[in-house]
Structure 1
Amino acid sequence: MFSPEAFIREMEPQIRQIVGQEKVVAAVSGGVDSTTAAALMYKVLGDRVVPVMIDTGFLRERESARVQEMLRDLMPLRVEDRSEEFIGSLEGLSDAEEKRKKFRDLFYTTISSILKREGAKFLVQGTIAADWVETQGGIKTQHNVLVQLGINTESLWGFTVVEPLADLYKNEVRELARYLGLPEEISERQPFPGPGLLVRVVGRVSREKLLVCRRANEIVERMLRPLRPSQYFAAVFEKQGDVEEGLSRSLGDRIFVYTNRATGVKGDVRSYGRMASFSFARDYVVAREMAKKITSGDFTRALMRVAEGQGKYTIAVRSVQTEDFMTADITEMDPKLLTEVAKLLMNIDGVGEVVYDVTTKPPATIEFE
């Protein structure tokens, strides 16, 4: 059984041996992993740790200000606004892996400049076991996995990475966060990916899609928070594609196949597959069976259509239950609540469809890219 107290006793001498008397920068995204890693380092090293949050432009509404306020009494979090630089560099890119790698390069180039300014040699980040397991397994490139891929951060960016949580899973990180005294808004907070909304703007990146995604995430988080799912959010992509006649005949429903694809995992390796939607099924037994049939081929996502209109964007609502984030099941949400959420989402300019992702992990990953 995991013991936060024993973990800190074990890690403290290791941290001191690695860092010595040097100054350290801790990258905080606002998620539980990075914030817990920063809090642990701050507990061990005190004000030799400089916690920094980079506003990449792909954060949620008022994210940086909210996180800064939550951590006010625990550590002096600094916010660096680099939003125009990030959005400008990523706008127009479509490939999921290219977007992640471009974001990683921008992120660490920015971090490198901050370390040089602070006179620091070490970067602390909240990499956990699930991150490097998925990256090494070829499922997707987590932006914060470097050393495990053989990337030499010293030669590329001039700093050494310290990852105190690299052997922990999400449930253990939450226990550690509670022990360190992080507010419940952080310790119980759902994970937020390092690239932020970038991985929820599926396909081509545009400022308009990013705005739609940000508004949709605010609605989904507000409406689903009382259910306390493990992770819940909205993704956006173009409502482009066509009805698949063969699938429609065999499954007895109108199966719409989208042009955009989404990352999944089949046979423990990445599968960048197709997405398909089917009619709203209020019975989750029916929905699960339909999802199983759709994803038996090269599809990684089965989406249940909840509302349709004339706009050009599809909003996909995702809500899952999981312990370790290596596998995940869908939240069997009350159809009335789902319909209510869909109505709110349809009021966003440009939205023409709302679907509910009913795919487990595997064959889908939790995030879309």
Structure 2
Amino acid sequence: MVDVDSFIPEAKAEIEDQIGDANAIIALSGGVDSSVAAALAHEAIGDQLTAVYVDTGLMRKGETEEIAETFDFLEGLEIVHAEERFFEELSGVTDPEEKRHVIGEQFIREFEREAKETDAKYLVQGTIYPDRIESEGNIKSHHNVGGLPEVVDFDGIVEPVRDLYKDEVREVARALGLESVIAERMPFPGPGLAVRVVGEVTPEKVEVARESCHIVEEETAEHEPWQAFAAVIGKATGVKGDNRVHGWVVCVRSVESRDGMTARAQQLDWDTLQRIQSRITGTLDNVSRVAYDVTHKPPATIEYE
């Protein structure tokens, strides 16, 4: 476990040493990893830092509004609405690795555009150790590691929590005094709902995933999963009223884990599962059925793409 008393001053000193008198931007997603990186950088370099949150159109329900409210203490928080650009770049892309690379490159281009506005020479991001292991180990490319383009228009990328596991990042978040809504927040993938949609990413499928994930998070809260969500995995025939529908199949996943490197599927009770399926099929007319994923990691990964 990380020694927060020594880690925090060492991390701030490293940030100061890397960035010096230059300006930097922090890639803020609202998750605990980037939030800790933002807090450390803010304490280290103050007004040399600009926080940038990119709304990709692939975020959780109400995410952008929540970010604006939660991080109002960061002066000059920039919210970039890039939904159309991300969907355009993802059009026709079905391969999971290609998705991650497309998203990684588009993120960098958005940050480069914002950096020009503030003359920022450095990009700070919340890469953690499992991101590096999975990217370098050919499991899957994380958008902020293996998904990065070869050419990046920054003098350097600063990753203050790159050697920490998720549970260690949470320890640092608590030590920094970050609100529990951030420190204890359920993990959410950097590529967003794009990796909870099997195959091509379309606005319709993303909206199904967004609403379904919101329902799953609400209904599983009392079970305290490490991560719980829903993914759109294909289409199947169903019946609604007296009509046949060929609707989306939503697969629910709820897992227990310590650091995300391995995970066990949660044994949710039948009543919880029935409430989830009833709410999803009742709320979304274009969903025909709901399944529950009982696969551990390994052999599965936690996310779908």
TM class by shorter chain equals over 0.9
Paired AA for residue 168 in structure 1: L
SS in structure 2 of the partner of residue 343 of structure 1: helix
TM-score by length of 1: 0.77
Shift of 1:313: 0.9
CA distance in structure 2 between the aligned counterparts of 1:98 and 1:73, rounded to whole angstroms: 36
> Runs of 5+ in structure 2 lacking a partner?
238-243
Whole-Å Cα distance in 1 between the matches of residues 57 and 90 of structure 2?
11
Give the length in aligned residue pairs. Answer: 298
CA distance in 2, matches of 1:208, 1:151: 28
Q: Distance in 1 between matches of 2:148 and 2:246?
A: 45
Q: CA deviation at 1:136?
A: 0.5
- Shift in Å at residue 76 of structure 1? 4.6
Q: Deviations over 1:289-324 (max 9, x none)?
A: xxxxxxxxxxxxxxxxxxxx8442110111111111
- Tell me what 1:122 maps to: 122
Q: Note if 1:187 corresponds to 2:183.
A: yes
- Greater alpha carbon shift after TM alignment, 9-18 vs 339-348: 9-18
1:19–1:329 distance in 2 versus 1, CA, 3 Å: same
SS in 1 for 2:278: helix
1:238-292 alpha-carbon deviations (Å, 9 max, x no partner): 1269xxxxxxxxxxxxxxxxxxxxxxxxxxxxxxxxxxxxxxxxxxxxxxxxxxx
1:205 and 2:214 matched: no
Structure 1 residue 72: Cα displacement:
2.1
Task: Please say if 1:352 is aligned against 2:288.
Answer: yes
Conserved? CA contact 1:30–1:192, under 8 Å = no
Is 1:319 aligned to 2:254, yes or no? yes
How far the C-alpha of 1:157 sits from its partner, in A, is 2.4
The TM-score, its normalising length taken from structure 2, stands at 0.93
The residue identity in structure 1 corresponding to 2:170 is: R
Q: Distance in 2 between matches of 1:159 and 1:222?
A: 42
Q: From the superposition, tell whether residues 211 and 367 of structure 1 become closer, same or farther in structure 2 (CA, over 3 Å).
A: same
Distance 1:82 1:331, change over 3 A: same
Measure how far apart 1:193 and its partner are. 1.0
Q: Residues 255-270 of structure 1 correspond to what in structure 2 (within 5 A)?
A: none
Residue 335 of structure 1 corresponds to which residue in structure 2?
A: 270
Deviation of 1:150 (Å): 9.5
Structure 2 partner of 1:172: 168
Report what 1:368 is aligned to: 304
CA–CA distance in 2 between the matches of 1:313 and 1:13? Answer: 50
Give secondary structure in 2 for the equivalent of 1:46.
helix
What SS class does the counterpart of residue 138 from structure 1 fall into? coil
Residue 47 of structure 1 is matched in structure 2 by 47
Partners of 1:31 and 1:193 within 8 A in 2:
no
In the alignment, the residues of structure 2 paired with residue 55 and residue 213 of structure 1 have an alpha-carbon distance, to the nearest angstrom, of: 16
Q: Match for residue 264 of structure 1?
A: none
| AA matched with 1:354 | V
Query: Deviation digits for residues 320-361 of structure 1, max 9, x if unmatched?
Result: 111111000111111111111111111212111101111100
Report the equivalent of 2:67: 67
Tell me if the contact between 1:91 and 1:207 (Cα under 8 Å) persists in the aligned partners: no
> One-letter code of the match for 2:290?
V
- Identity of counterpart residues, as a percentage? 42
Q: Which residue of 1 aligns with 2:241?
A: none
Q: Which string of whole-angstrom CA distances, capped at 9 and with x for unpartnered residues, describes residues 97-148 of structure 1? A: 11111111111111111111110000000000000100111000100015xx
Indicate the residue corresponding to 1:27 in structure 2: 27
Closer/same/farther in 2, CA of residues 159 and 116 from structure 1, 3 Å limit:
farther
Q: Which moved more, 1:231-240 or 1:119-128?
A: 231-240
Q: CA deviation at 1:9?
A: 2.0
Alpha-carbon distance in structure 1 between the residues aligned to 2:132 and 2:149: 13
CA contact (8 A) 1:112 1:159 kept: no
Provide the residue aligned with 2:240 in structure 1.
Answer: none
Confirm or deny: 8 A CA contact 2:27 2:124 kept in the other structure: yes
Secondary structure at the counterpart of residue 88 of structure 2: helix
Q: Distance in 2 between the 1:135 and 1:101 partners?
A: 11
Shift, 1:30, TM fit: 1.4
Measure how far apart 1:151 and its partner are: 6.3
Which residue of 2 is the match for residue 235 of structure 1? Answer: 231
Determine the C-alpha separation between the residues in 2 that align with 1:29 and 1:219.
Answer: 21
Report the Cα distance in structure 1 between the residues aligned to 2:92 and 2:203, rounded to whole angstroms: 9
